[in-house]
């Protein structure tokens, strides 16, 4: 836990009960460097000798999304739903097409662009999602040992 505030307090404040499952899921997402699928969470917890049902994971994830503690995303390549802790910071995803790893980037070049869209299209802009696809350093190096396609 990187904050002084514990999940127990956060959950309480939202009127949610402080259960071991909610805590272990939140803790797992906190230590993870990237968004996880429900299934990945399930496997990770089972690995930690925690007995939990997959449907419970889905239910916990959904309540946490509804209460703004975590964020739901989905990938373009495969059709899976990913969950990550809501850091309340504006982040974008850098997705490696080879190893599928996701890296977070926090720089965002958009204020200008959004203003333009607002004027041109008459939209009220609420937010955006940006995913950038590429090949990460280590995958590119692996490939260069063989033939270089990219």
Partner DNA sequence: AATGCAAATGCAAATCATTATTATTTGGAG
Partner DNA sequence: CTCCAAATAATAATGATTTGCATTTGCATT
The footprint of DNA on residues 28-47 (CB under 7 A) is 37-39
Is 142 a binding residue for a copy of itself by CB under 8 A? The answer is: no
Is 60 a binding residue for DNA by CB under 7 A? The answer is: yes
From 32, 62, 73, 103, residue interacting with DNA (rule: CB under 7 A): 62
Binding region for a copy of itself (CB under 8 A) out of 1-9, 17-25, 30-38, 104-112: 104-112
Q: Which helix (H) or strand (E) holds 22?
A: helix 20-31
Is 19 a binding residue for DNA by CB under 7 A? The answer is: yes
Say which entry of DNA, a copy of itself, none residue 132 contacts (CB below 5 to 8 A, set by partner kind).
a copy of itself
CA 59 to chain centre: 17
Residue 81 has φ and ψ, to the nearest 5°, of -90, 135
From 43, 46, 54, 150, residue interacting with DNA (rule: CB under 7 A): 54
Say which entry of DNA, a copy of itself, none residue 56 contacts (CB below 5 to 8 A, set by partner kind).
DNA
Query: How far is it, in rounded angstroms, from Cα 52 to Cα 128?
Result: 34
From 15, 17, 88, 127, residue interacting with a copy of itself (rule: CB under 8 A): 127
The SS3 call for residue 32 is coil
Structure tokens at 26: 């939140």
The SS3 call for residue 52 is coil
Closest among 130, 128, 129, 132 to 97, alpha carbons compared: 132
């Amino acid at each position: 836990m990187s904050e002084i505030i514990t999940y127990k307090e956060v959950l309480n404040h939202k009127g949610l009960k402080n259960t071991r499952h909610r805590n272990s899921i939140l803790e797992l997402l906190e230590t993870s460097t990237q968004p996880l699928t429900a299934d990945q969470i399930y496997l990770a917890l089972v690995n930690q000798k925690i007995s939990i049902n997959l449907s419970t994971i889905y239910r916990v994830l959904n309540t946490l999304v509804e209460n703004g503690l975590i964020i739901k995303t989905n990938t373009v390549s495969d059709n899976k739903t990913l969950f990550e802790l809501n850091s309340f910071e504006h982040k974008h995803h850098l997705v490696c097409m080879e190893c599928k790893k996701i890296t977070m980037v926090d720089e965002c070049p958009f204020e200008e662009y959004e203003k333009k869209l607002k004027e041109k299209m008459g939209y009220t802009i609420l937010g955006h999602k940006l995913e950038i696809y590429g090949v990460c350093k280590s995958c590119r190096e692996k490939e260069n040992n063989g033939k270089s396609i990219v």
